[in-house]
Structure 1
Amino acid sequence: MADTHDNLHIVMLPWLAFGHMTPYLELAKLMAGKGHRISFLSAPRNIDRLPKPTPDLTPLISFVKLPLPAIEHLPEGAEATSDLPYDKIQYLKKAYDMLQEPVARFLESSDPDWIMYDFAPYWAGSIASRLGIRSVFFTILIGAGLSFIGPSRDSKGGDYRKTPEDFTRPPKWVPFPTKVAFHHFEIKKIFDSVTGNASGVTDVYRLKASQENCDIIALRSSYEVEPEWLTLLKDIYAKPVFPVGQLPPGDPDSRGETETWRLIKEWLDAQKNGTVVYVAFGSESKPTQTELTEIALGLELSGLPFFWVLKIRLGSADSELIMLPDGFEERVKGRGVVWDSWVPQLKILAHNSVGGFLTHGGWNSAVEALSFERALILFTFLADQGLNARLLEERQIGYSIPRNESDGSVTRQSVAESLRMVMVEEKGRVYREKAKEMRPIFEDKDIQERYVNNLLNYLKDHRPVKHPKSKGIII
């Protein structure tokens, strides 16, 4: 007899980056809120650093700590991409791949209905299949990004793209006009995703094997934002594709009052409504010294008030020190703040004095900003940020600061002009208006609810049928 209990047990296995763990946790909370049990797997320090669910969800979300093996070139205590400079992340992937056995043991002993896994543990789908557990490849890539990566490895003809230049044009399988592609400097910086790294497995292989090995594909997206890309994905993949919505953050006021926030709020309260540029480049993006100098001097030249969260070091292994220009902080005193430690980003974005957000283009940050109708000024660094930026540009939701196509260099003048254009000038009004248009889409709880219900209904209808007295599958 089959188990007819309606609630599911779902294991979640995100990649070790906060830009991945955060949307996984947001989805976990939404599913737990409907009575489903979640086992959230990650390295111990990451779990300790993640925000804790509210008391009503605590019994339904179990955090499972999987210690990473010590390997050469991976600094002790480095468990997330934010703990490492870019060139060391390949060793984090190598250590992560050594969790296959512990993950398999956990799946075997906990006997979940489904596992939702990220691109890095491309091996999770095969393990689940062997154990009679259904699997979801849940990617934090948006529809345009996943479509750009393209069909899985077993599709006819494979991927024709071999050089960085091949990735600066929309792929052949996109049937509509678009500018979604990398700039040359963006793909050049991350071309090891295509050619390989110390883990022995390229990121492109991981992505395509993840798509191939799963039962269904889920992604952080919605038809309200990118309908044509989601329709294309359904054509590309011969398996179900589920957008899970934008996973907007919860209420910023529910996150408690801290001394840090009191100090920041005091400064923000003294600024005029909609005038402040909030500047932050995420947990794993760090400007070079040259970029830092030009961004700083551009902020100074703009004459706008700003609050800049500046990360000058990516973990203990980061030996590339960067410094603000001489006298910069003194010259902008009162008008600009540079903050070098953690901040409550949601509370800042929600504050009425903030009008725009100079961001790296990570989708978490875009969703947070648009949930509070903040105009986006984009300066990309790594990963899928370039593809996100092209979609935002195409929709006139975000404006990218002009940069040298070959090396990505930027001038203080282009930083200042871009900030002033988006924040105050008439020709930048479209970006301010588009941010307002997006707010109802990004913060609408009913839209979000519909996407999650749609996914959960499928997971319930297609759970593996298990014998009540054993953990085996009925054949």
Structure 2
Amino acid sequence: MSSHHEKLHIVLFPWLAFGHLTPNLDLAKLIAQKGHFVTFISTPRNILRLPKLSPDLSANINFLELPLPPVDNLPEDAEATTDVPYNVVQYLKLACDALQQPLTRFLESSTPDWIFYDFVPYWVGSIASKIGIKSAYFSIFNAACLGFLGPAPALMGQDLIRTKPEDYIVKPSWVPFPSTVAWRYFEIMKISDGITDNDSGVSDMYRFGASVANCDIVVIRSCSEFEPEWLQLLEEIHRKPIFPVGQLPNTNQKSEADDDNEMWRRIKGWLDAKQKGTVVYVAFGSEAKPSQEEVNEIALGLEKSELPFFWVLRIRRGLTDPEVLTLPEGFEERTKDRGLVCTGWAPQLKILSHDSVGGFLTHSGWTSVVEAVQEEKPLVLLTFLADQGLNARLLEEKKMAYSIPRDERDGSFTSESLANSLRLVILEPKGRAYREKIKEMKDLFVNKERQDQYLHTLLDYLKDHRNR
């Protein structure tokens, strides 16, 4: 049998954030469905928190637990970004970096064909190369984000192109086409610790640069029909193969969550009682946590909108988070007939799929964007961290979403602007373009044949270019 038909063994090593773990697991499932073997590496607690595999996939996906070593300032049970306040995430990166030795031992003993790694463990590519294993940097960030970040030497500090935060709020010189994709001032200032070396010892920008520099290929959560110019730019600035792998639409919550689940029954009953297309679903993912001032404005804005709403509010990031968010006094009582605030986990995809939901107030994390498009729900954006600002510009550019007006310097917004934005996108004739555009984009994001073709092209390359 030729090597092209042999089964592959692919290792996936995502960053310890659920916005990264979930798309990595979705990719693992697609690879396993093609009969290949996947080793999915994470920490014990994260693996327990992932959705359970269906029996037909469990034979082809093996979960490998790598416990995090103790690190000063990192709580004992903290294994994901959702477990710690934002300023503690740098110590989680430090703990992740300490997994180099156990990962090396595993790779030496198991000799997989390929390892896919995330941007935080940027060191994987060079380790794999020394052992003779091919590596892929798997970016869960879209091509516009990676293209905006730019060439590896610039990210690694070898070319001093960007020396201050203000350099990140304009289109960079290497982007040859018109684009508004850039951070706004308040967005880059919130994550300025990612530009410079922090207590992890390595800046996020260096990690991105080294991840791309050290890999054999770049695999990216994108599709050429959605952002062709950005994918072409990546090939030009990195001079290595770039493989879009589709948008990886999430099927976990709809197919695997039990419809008899008591919590979902309660939520569904509440949604069933609301008029079709009127409910605002509000959720900001596992990473973003608004400030108390922002929570107050969001709450008052929802109240002023006079729309029914279902709000998933994370009141703290882990048990060591000193700031526990509270709702404005009397808010829940005043809105009890049309609003529901959930402070625990909620089945996002099932909620978005409900007919009564008419719009999604979101942080613009890409998994949430894909799920909204999948369920044809128009987007109102309120960014907080990381790639969210870049995602928002891309969505605005494509007329797929509307961002709540904010102060350019400090990012503040008013309850009135939030209420007006929600009513515009969900109800008003002026917002019809956003409602229609999401429906137009659905096939591009979730078409199964297209997704399968991307995977087929990638797997063929992986088979032909593994070390033998």
TM-score of the pair, normalised by structure 2: 0.97
Q: Bigger shift: 253-262 or 20-29?
A: 253-262
Matches of 1:129 and 1:139 in 2, distance apart?
A: 19
How far apart are residue 159 of structure 1 and its match? 4.4
Contact 1:168/1:183, CA 8 A, preserved across alignment: yes
> C-alpha displacement at 1:158, in angstroms?
2.0
Equivalent residue, structure 2, for 1:283: 286
SS at match of 2:56: coil
Out of 389, 394, 406, the residue aligned to residue 403 of structure 1 is 406
Give the deviation of 1:118 after TM superposition.
Answer: 0.4
Residues 359 and 376 in structure 1, CA contact (< 8 A), matched pair in contact too: yes
**8 A contact 2:14–2:41 mirrored in 1:** yes
Which residue type is aligned with residue 429 of structure 1? R
Q: Name stretches of at least 5 consecutive residues in structure 1 with no aligned partner.
A: 466-475
Size of the aligned set, in residue pairs, is 465
After superposition, where does 1:429-448 map in structure 2 within 5 Å?
429-448=432-451
Cα distance in 2 for partners of 1:328, 1:235 equals 53
Judge conservation of contact 1:252–1:350 (CA < 8 Å) in 2. no
Aligned-pair CA distance for 1:233: 1.1
Does residue 362 of structure 1 match 2:344?
Answer: no
Task: Spell out the pairing of 1:198-347 with structure 2 (5 A cutoff).
Answer: 198-250=199-251, 252-255=253-256, 256-257=258-259, 258-347=261-350
Preserved CA contact (<8 Å) 2:281 2:311 = yes
Question: Does 1:120 find its partner at 2:152?
Answer: no
Residue 154 of structure 1: how far off its partner (Å):
7.5
Find out whether 1:61 has 2:64 as its counterpart. Answer: no
Amino acid at match of 1:299: L
**For the structure 1 residues 107 and 391, does the alpha-carbon distance in structure 2 shift closer, same or farther, using more than 3 Å as the test?**
same
Percent identical among aligned pairs is: 60
Indicate which of 418, 425, 430 corresponds to 1:427. 430
Cα pair distance change 1:144/1:154, threshold 3 Å:
closer
Aligned partner of 1:152 in structure 2 is 152
Partner of 1:375: 378
Structure 1 residue 74, shift from structure 2 partner:
0.1
Contact 1:154 1:212 in 2 (8 A): no
Task: State the 1:253 CA deviation.
Answer: 3.4
How far apart, in 1, do the equivalents of 2:153 and 2:96 lie? 22
Q: Which residue of 1 aligns with 2:188?
A: 187
The offset of 1:441, in angstroms, is 1.4
Distance 1:375 1:436 in 2: 9
CA distance in 2, matches of 1:253, 1:85: 30
On the 8 A contact 2:4/2:460 being kept in 1, the answer is no
Letter in 2 for 1:172: S
CA distance in 2: counterparts of 1:201 and 1:300, whole angstroms: 43
Deviation for aligned residue 1:71 = 1.0
Q: Secondary structure at the match of 1:62?
A: strand
1:73 aligns to what?
73
Aligned 8 A contact 2:154 2:161 in 1: no
What is the aligned partner in structure 2 of residue 140 from structure 1? Answer: 140
Backbone CA RMSD of aligned residues: 1.4
Counterpart Cα distance in 1 of 2:170 and 2:80: 31
The answer to whether the 8 Å contact 2:113/2:133 transfers is: yes
What do the CA deviations read for 1:143-198 (whole angstroms, capped 9, x no partner)?
10000110112899724111111100011100011110001000001011111111
**Cα contact 2:3–2:463 (8 A) shared by 1:** no
Distance, in Å, in 1 between the alignment partners of 2:204 and 2:299 is 33
| Between 251-260 and 172-181, the greater mean CA deviation after superposition | 251-260
Q: 1:253, 1:311 → 2: CA distance?
A: 22
Q: CA contact under 8 A between 2:154 and 2:160: conserved in structure 1?
A: no
The one-letter code matched in structure 1 to 2:8 is: L
Once residues 64 and 461 of structure 1 are traced to their aligned partners in structure 2, the CA distance between those partners, rounded to angstroms, is: 26
Q: Which residue of 2 aligns with 1:471?
A: none
Report the CA distance shift for 1:58/1:159 in structure 2 as closer, same or farther (over 3 A): farther
Secondary structure of 1:355's match? strand
Determine the structure 2 residue equivalent to 1:170. 171
CA distances 1:419-454 after superposition (whole Å, capped 9, x unpaired): 000011111111101111111112211111111111
